[in-house]
Amino acid sequence: MVRTQIQLTEDQARKLKRIAQSQHLSVAELIRRGVDAIIESSTAVDIEERRKRALEIVGQFSSGKHNISMKHDLYLADAYDK
């Protein structure tokens, strides 16, 4: 683990201690769990993950049209006009 120093307001520290005691956890563990929750809910996705996700969906959908690569501008213009 990496030791990190943070500063909390007195109110934050008091509330964290209270929550930690009620859940039989250390304040450090409570903070680690909070950081994990933020990381998991983050919408920021690195470029490799975006590339992997894009490749996973290739070929999964079909428009039923066979000339999309040649007439994509026409189809886009038509889609945005509606």
Contact 27, 15 (CB under 8 A): no
What's the confidence (pLDDT) of residue 78? 87
16 Cβ contact list (under 8 Å, min separation 6): 8, 27, 30, 31
Domain parsing of the chain, residue ranges: 10-81
**What does pTM read for this prediction?**
0.53
Most confident of 9-13, 41-45, 70-74: 9-13
